[in-house]
């Protein structure tokens, strides 16, 4: 579906950014609809963080058209910035303050912040509200970063590798928070190396390689469009394992049923995962 410009929270065309002789972003195009969770995937150095920094107004661009919530980030006002929340990869909170003091302090920067106690609970830090930041674990500090990103009640939330350092339970709790914010109408841009996270949370995904979007669509659509077929495995009568990669797995299974007269020993049918598609699109298939 093609969205009109006024339906887009983020509209990017021909974005370019260079650092001396290195081109970090090379003609990148993006369109993120209002209210959707959009995942931005790509290897280190693909240009994801630079793109997020440009969208937030913290980095200049060399070329291209950029609109975020109807405003060019390069000229965004304080009022515009209050509508955009961000969680960076690196935390930068004052170590001597408590969690509660920090969240309340940052809430003062926004015209209509969420309740501090509510946000602290949402990120799973209720039991640590009176702990000093220097006493928190790495994962707990990361939760605090997320709290500071959402305390302003942003219309658009930019999340740059937000669950780095989270244990599995904390990551699941973060997913619940993202679903809650999405249900409330928050537009969310998520960069992550956790493909399960991207597939679970994102309405649509873009895969970035060498500073360009090489594929975009819903997770299932990307698997269907860029997958290389299914893999059928079975065990022969002599005990040897066999496998066949095919675009017509049902036909292969039917042929095997006839040959084995019904039950097929050790049968499995594996379809391409998002990881398979990602590695193929980014030229990293051999790394698996």
201 and 283 belong to one structural domain: no
Q: What is the pLDDT of residue 191?
A: 94
Q: Is 42:208 a contact under the CB 8 Å cutoff?
A: yes
Question: Structural domain tally of the chain?
Answer: 2
Q: What is the pLDDT of residue 90?
A: 66
pLDDT tens across 57-89, in order? 999 999 999 999 999 999 999 999 999 999 887
192 and 253 belong to one structural domain: no
86 and 17 belong to one structural domain: yes
Q: What is the pLDDT of residue 284?
A: 74
166 and 263 belong to one structural domain: no
Tokens of 217: 């669509």
Domain final position from 217, 248, 270: 217
Whole domain around residue 108: which residue ranges? 5-217
155 and 276 belong to one structural domain: no
Which residues are CB-contacts of 216 (< 8 A; sequence separation ≥ 6)?
A: 204, 205, 206, 207
pLDDT tens across 144-192, in order? 988 999 999 999 999 988 887 778 888 888 898 899 899 999 999 999 9
Which residues are CB-contacts of 252 (< 8 A; sequence separation ≥ 6)?
A: 232, 244, 246
**CATH no. for residue 196?**
3.40.50.300
**Which residue numbers in the chain have pLDDT < 70?**
1-6, 90-92, 285-288
Domain final position from 197, 217, 237: 217
20 and 163 belong to one structural domain: yes
180 and 64 belong to one structural domain: yes
115 and 247 belong to one structural domain: no
124 and 256 belong to one structural domain: no
Which residues are CB-contacts of 269 (< 8 A; sequence separation ≥ 6)?
A: 230, 231, 232, 249, 253
47 and 144 belong to one structural domain: yes
Exposed/middle/buried for residue 232 (C-beta within 10 Å: 0-12, 13-18, 19+): buried
Q: pTM for this structure? A: 0.82
Q: What is the pLDDT of residue 92?
A: 64
171 and 271 belong to one structural domain: no
138 and 271 belong to one structural domain: no
Domain final position from 217, 238, 273: 217
From residue 175, alpha-carbon distances to 2, 146, 200 in Å are 27, 12, 8
The span from the CA of 167 to the CA of 218, in Å, is 27
From residue 67, alpha-carbon distances to 28, 37, 71, 83, 151 in Å are 13, 17, 5, 14, 23
């Amino acid at each position: 579906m093609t969205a009109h410009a006024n339906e887009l929270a983020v509209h990017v065309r021909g974005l370019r950014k260079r650092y001396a002789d290195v081109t970090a972003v090379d003609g990148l195009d993006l369109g993120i609809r209002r209210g959707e969770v959009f995942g931005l995937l790509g290897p280190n150095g693909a240009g994801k963080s630079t793109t997020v920094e440009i969208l937030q107004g913290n980095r200049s661009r060399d070329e291209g058209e950029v609109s975020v919530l109807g405003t060019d980030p390069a000229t965004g006002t304080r009022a515009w910035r209050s509508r955009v929340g961000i969680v960076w990869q690196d935390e930068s909170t004052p170590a001597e303050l408590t969690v509660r003091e920090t969240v309340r302090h940052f809430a003062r920067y926004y015209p209509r912040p969420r309740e501090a106690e509510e946000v602290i609970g949402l990120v799973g830090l209720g039991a640590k509200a009176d702990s000093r930041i220097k006493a928190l674990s790495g994962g707990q500090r990361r939760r605090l970063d997320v709290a500071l990103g959402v305390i302003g009640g942003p219309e658009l939330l930019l999340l740059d590798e937000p669950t780095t350092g989270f244990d599995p339970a904390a990551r699941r709790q973060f997913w619940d928070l993202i679903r809650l914010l999405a249900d409330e109408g928050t537009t969310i841009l998520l960069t992550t190396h956790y493909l399960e996270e991207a597939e679970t949370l994102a309405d649509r995904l873009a895969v970035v390689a060498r500073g360009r979007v090489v594929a975009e669509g819903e997770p299932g659509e990307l698997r269907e469009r860029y997958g290389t077929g299914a893999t059928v495995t079975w065990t022969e009568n002599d005990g040897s394992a066999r496998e066949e990669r095919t675009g017509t797995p049902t036909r292969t299974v039917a042929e095997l049923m006839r040959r084995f007269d019904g039950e097929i020993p050790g049968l499995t049918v594996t379809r391409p995962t998002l990881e398979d598609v990602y590695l193929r699109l980014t030229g990293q298939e051999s790394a698996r």
